[in-house]
Structure 1
Amino acid sequence: MEQWKKARIVAESADPDVNISEVARRNGVNRGLLTMWRRLAGVSSSGAFKGFNSAF
């Protein structure tokens, strides 16, 4: 998947009021994969952005 698509999905899931499972389903990705992308991007479980990891 292209990096810009990953970034868009992660950004969509970063809102603390959004259900991560719904975002994953809507975008056709596994919730666990989205969680890994969020972790790599530095998005905490509360939706706070902690900074990009170079691996993302």
Structure 2
Amino acid sequence: MAKGKAVKYEWRCKCCNTPTGAGQAQKEKVKELKKNKYCPKTRQMQAHEAKLIKKGN
């Protein structure tokens, strides 16, 4: 592995795996999704919880 290469993480929805964006805007979006408890992709009224995943391999 190359030195100094940071592992990037990304927030995604637990139920539909939709990326929620990046950085500060991402944190706000995660808050919004949790508040709404609505998954836009599956159209289910459930907690649209975010999970942190590694980007790349």
Query: Normalized against structure 1, the TM-score is what?
Result: 0.32
Q: Per residue, is there more strand in 1 or in 2?
A: 2
Query: Normalized against structure 2, the TM-score is what?
Result: 0.32
* Bigger relative CO (Cα 8 Å, ≥ 6 apart): 2
